[in-house]
Amino acid sequence: MFIEPNFKGERRGWIEVICGSMFSGKTEELIRRLKRVEIANLKAEIFKPSIDKRFDEQKIVSHDANKIQSTPIDNSQTILLLAQNVDVVGIDEAQFFDDQITVVCEKLALKGMRVIVAGLDMDYQGRPFGQMPNLLAIADYITKLHAICVVCGNIANVSYRKVKTGGQVLLGEKDIYEPRCRVCAALKS
């Protein structure tokens, strides 16, 4: 889908994607970047999917308990309605959003906004997760983070699910998931 750009001497926007497995520091990095936006006195709007209530209903919270205020939303189109006259848009857990999230991010960038998106690039089976592959394809900047494998200590890129129930989406923490490398994820536990 082609979106007509508006370049009437306005600032140019871009899309940054932070991806990796669970426990790799994606949300921590998103919060770090958004706090720098606050220090620069830029106006930002921050969003997360309303289904993610693990730590807080309103805030984005990292595993290290760092947090920043956000707006929980049910669909990505809502971002276009709420992100008016801002410099930066932050989006956490992008893999949980609908198939329009890529179009929404593209529209925001074409309006001159910096868009910072964080999410899991792979599900627990090591398959591309949600719209993350499409976001990675259109991103101007990509940061891939890694956790440490709890089995062997090498870098981990898999969010290994320790329970055998649930579909692709099963919200949880260390009780359900652990970071593993590709080799250790293939091992039966």
List the catalytic residues: 93
Question: How many Cα atoms sit within 13 Å of 43 on the Cβ side?
Answer: 8
- 3-state SS assignment for residue 29: helix
Regarding beta strands 155-156 and 147-148, do their DSSP bridges make them parallel or antiparallel, or are they unpaired?
antiparallel
In one-letter notation, the amino acid at residue 111 is K
Task: Report angle CA 49, 52, 55 to the nearest 5 degrees.
Answer: 135
Distances (CA, A) of 73 to 34, 60, 97, 181: 18, 12, 9, 33
Strand partners of residue 158: 180
Spatial neighbors of 149 by CB under 8 A, at least 6 apart, are 155, 156, 179, 180, 181, 184
Distance between CA atoms of 59 and 21, rounded to whole angstroms?
A: 21
The encoded tokens of residue 119 equal 């999410």
